[in-house]
């Protein structure tokens, strides 16, 4: 606050404070498996990072443009099935199958986006749900398609190969943790790059006023489809990871509407249209959900959904911009104290 602060003023010191916090948090995450002794807690951590990854991917199209897609699990589901089927039928390593699955998901994303982006608000959301449910129900009722065994509602087991890193299978949990952590960091880096680029500015402009944006050169359909392609590809990669983590995939778990809603909730609660927001949301809601399931799951199944609903209501009332607003406030206070 004094004159001497001017050169490294509030903006400068808040940046260095953010760097310090960021590095400390990153180091903590790297060391986590060494500090955690319980397998169960490591599993919760892996699931949390996984949902953070899904939320960050969802945010790239929905958070910035402000449309609510509740059918995103269609991408993780389709990509997961593609990579698992490629592995079962041709032995192709899921590391490569992942990218093929992601490409499939991207094509589906663009194909769905094209009609959906003509719709606004609730109509857009309902249509995304419709597409996702359509594919899920079809899969659930289809045992075989064009000679490929889909096994319908029974799902597919990924053949066990034991300790086979080249085939995306590990015996311990730690490699899975580091894989999803790396994926999360890459997704956040992509979000950062999009935010600063013309695409990011155009997406925010479309959210602000679509007609105004179009009048100054923004082809809204083209840019929304671009963001959708990135988001659906990344979400697809996540679905393939999930299939490898559990070595099992079925329509209800991987393409269900629950995952879509939870992903969207985490991004919204944490702070849409920001890089860290969706991560914060995932870190609040995933452990809460897991703990609710383990303590009350027997007596009160579905309680975790009730809790999610309550959290959403509270956040919308008290922190409409998401968890990220008190975080920013705290950082600014920390800077002012110096």
Partner 1 sequence: MAFFEIKGISKSFGGLKAVDNLSFHIEKGEILGLIGPNGAGKTTAFNMIAGYFPPDKGEILFKGENITGQRPWTVCEKGIARTFQLSKPFGEMTVIDNIMVGAFARSRRREQVYRKAEEILELTGMTPLRDVEAHNLTATDRKKLELGRALATDPELLLMDEVVAGATPQEADAMMKLIRRIRDNNVTILIVEHVMKVIMGLSDRVVVLNYGKKLVDCPPGEAACNVEVLKAYLGERYVNPSDS
**Interface with partner 1 (CB under 8 A):** 196-198, 201-202, 204-205, 207-209, 211-220
| Beta carbon nearer to partner 1, 207 or 247 | 207
- Cβ atoms of 180 and 46 within 8 Å: the answer is yes
d(CA 135, CA 131): 6
Residue 221 CB, shortest distance to partner 1, in Å, is 9
Judged by CB, which is closer to partner 1: 61, or 218? Answer: 218
Residue number, 66 or 256, with CB nearest to partner 1: 66
Which are the contacts of 251, defined by CB distance < 8 A and separation ≥ 6?
Answer: 77, 136, 137, 139, 140, 152, 153, 155
Q: Which is nearer to partner 1, 174 or 214 (CB)?
A: 214
* Choice between 204 and 332, CB closer to partner 1: 204
User: Shortest Cβ distance from residue 267 to partner 1 (Å)?
Assistant: 17
- Compute the least distance from the CB of residue 213 to partner 1, in Å: 7
Closest approach of partner 1 to the CB of residue 220, in Å: 8
For 169, phi then psi, to 5°, come to: -135, 130
Q: Could you list the beta-strand ranges (E) of 53-138.
A: none
Task: Please state, in angstroms and as integers, the Cα–Cα distance from residue 224 to each residue in 144, 197, 211, following that order.
Answer: 35, 14, 14
Q: Tell which residue, 250, 195, 258, has the closest CA to residue 227.
A: 195
Q: How far is the CB of 11 from partner 1 (least distance, A)?
A: 10
Q: What backbone torsions phi and psi does residue 141 show, to the nearest 5 degrees?
A: -105, 10
| Structure tokens that stand for 87 in this block | 């592995």
Which token pair is 200? 């990011």
Measured from the CB of residue 214, what is the shortest distance to partner 1 in angstroms? 4
What six digits make up the tokens of 82? 């593609």
CB of 210 to partner 1, least distance (A): 9
CB closer to partner 1 out of 97 and 113:
113
245 or 267, CB closer to partner 1? 267
Nearest of 55, 25, 121 to residue 322 by alpha carbon: 55
Closest approach, Cβ 326 to partner 1, in A, equals 18
What is the DSSP pairing of strand 156-157 with strand 248-249? antiparallel
- The conformational region for residue 237 under phi > 0 = left, psi -120 to 50 = alpha, else beta, is alpha
Other CB atoms closer than 10 Å to residue 159's CB: what's the count? 12
């Amino acid at each position: 606050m004094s004159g001497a602060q001017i050169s490294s003023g509030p903006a400068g010191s808040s940046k260095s404070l953010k760097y310090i916090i960021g590095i400390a948090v990153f180091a903590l995450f790297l060391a986590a498996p060494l500090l955690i002794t319980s397998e169960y807690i490591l599993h919760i951590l892996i699931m949390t990072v996984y949902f953070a990854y899904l939320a960050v991917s969802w945010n790239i199209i929905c958070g910035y443009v402000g449309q609510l897609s509740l059918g995103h699990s269609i991408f993780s589901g389709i990509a997961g099935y593609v990579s698992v089927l490629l592995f079962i039928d041709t032995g192709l390593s899921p590391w490569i199958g992942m990218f093929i699955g992601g490409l499939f998901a991207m094509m589906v994303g663009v194909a769905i986006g094209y009609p959906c982006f003509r719709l606004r608000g609730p109509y857009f959301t309902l249509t995304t749900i419709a597409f996702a449910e359509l594919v899920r129900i079809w899969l659930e009722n289809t045992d075989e398609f064009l000679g490929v065994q889909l096994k319908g509602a029974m799902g597919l087991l990924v053949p066990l190969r034991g300790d086979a890193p080249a085939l995306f299978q590990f015996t311990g949990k730690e490699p899975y943790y580091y894989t999803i952590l790396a994926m999360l960091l890459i997704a956040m880096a992509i979000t950062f790059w999009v935010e600063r680029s013309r695409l990011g500015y155009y997406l925010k402009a479309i959210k602000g006023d679509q007609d105004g944006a179009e009048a100054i050169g923004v082809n809204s359909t083209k840019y929304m489809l671009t963001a959708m392609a990135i988001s659906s590809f990344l979400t697809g990669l996540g679905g393939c990871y999930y299939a490898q983590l559990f070595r099992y995939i079925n329509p209800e778990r991987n393409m269900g509407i629950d995952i879509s809603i939870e992903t969207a909730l985490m991004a919204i609660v944490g702070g849409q249209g920001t890089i860290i927001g969706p991560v914060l949301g995932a870190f609040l809601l995933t452990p809460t959900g897991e703990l609710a399931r383990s303590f009350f799951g027997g007596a009160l199944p579905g309680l975790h959904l009730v809790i999610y609903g309550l959290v959403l209501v509270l956040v919308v009332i008290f922190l409409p911009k998401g968890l990220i607003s008190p975080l920013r406030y705290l950082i600014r206070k920390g800077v002012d104290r110096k």
